[in-house]
Copies of this chain bind each other. A is one copy, B any other.
Amino acid sequence: MGYGNVSERLRQPPQVGVSVVILALDPDSEHGRLWLPLVRRVRQPFLGCWALPGGDIRGDRTLAQSAYEALESTTDLHPSYLEQLHAFGGPDRSRGGLPMVSIVYWALVGEAEAGDFAERDNVRWFPESDLPSLDIAFDHREIIAYALARLRTRIEYPDIAARLVGPTFTLRQLHGVYEAVTGTVLDLPNFRRKMLASGEIEETGETLREGRHRPAAVYRYVPRRDAGERPYAYALTGDRLAELDARARSAAAAMSPGPGASSGDDALSALTTV
């Protein structure tokens, strides 16, 4: 493919890719801080820098599918929430290469899952407040800040917090997530009432002992089928996500030689774009 000099390249229509900001609760931190996985780049530009997991967009996939596949193949995680964040573009983000537009998604994964993740050389989790100081590729630092801001405003609903904490939880745990994410202090009794009144939370019948005191009731999140929670929400949750998951699995199976061997390191080899 012959392209001209730099200024000619800049006038070309840009390439498109997807990236994903994957947010989870750090299970090692007692006070529930957020962390996220970054991938080390193995190509120029920004070789060796940390970048958001990403990949190409294929014409025969939806954008969400492309995002899911990028996420799943680099980190082996299965998000409980996936939503388009923003499309980023412009002259600042090309760095001498071809201009690039990234459609960025943000994803949430449950605490348990983020914990049982085995770290690899080219993927590492960083606490939200302790990102690498210099070597973050492109404008990914600002994109992360943007995703965190979105998370903080979206968390008014039980939904988001429940997806961060995992399938079941006590009200105190959920409360902790809210406090960690918003950085504020919330009255626990009022919080409890509000969550229960939302109708999106349901007792499992189990209880959880955690010290020499009264055990707490365990709840699960139940999306209300009220329909119109939020009038326009292109977020993927529940069944829609399972669908994407099934697709990703069958695609992986088709590419791998034997069954069950679909998560080799070749699939993990630093899928990153701008």
CB within 8 Å of B: which residues of A?
7, 9-16, 56-63, 65-66, 84, 86-91, 94, 98-99, 101, 103, 146, 149-150, 152-153, 230-232, 234
Contact = CB atoms under 8 A, between A and B. Distances in A.
Nearest to A89: B63
Given A101-B16, A231-B153, A57 B89 contact: yes
18 contacts: A11-B58, A11-B59, A13-B56, A16-B16, A57-B89, A57-B101, A63-B88, A63-B89, A63-B90, A65-B90, A66-B89, A86-B234, A87-B87, A103-B103, A149-B232, A150-B232, A153-B231, A153-B232
Contacts of A89: 57, 62-63, 66, 103
Contacts of A231: 149, 152-153
Contacts of A14: 16, 57, 59
A177 B35 CA distance: 43
Contact of A91 (B15, B60, B146): B60
A10 B60 contact: yes
A149 B63 CA distance: 21
Given A16-B101, A153-B230, 5 more contacts: A13-B16, A13-B57, A61-B90, A62-B89, A152-B231
A96 to B, nearest CB: 11
Contact of A59 (B13, B59, B232): B13
Contact of A61 (B57, B58, B91): B91
Contacts of A58: 10-11, 13, 99
Contacts of A153: 230-232
Nearest to A230: B153
A21 to B, nearest CB: 13
Contacts of A101: 16, 57, 63, 103
A58 B13 CA distance: 5
Given A13-B15, A231-B153, A232-B149, A90 B62 contact: yes
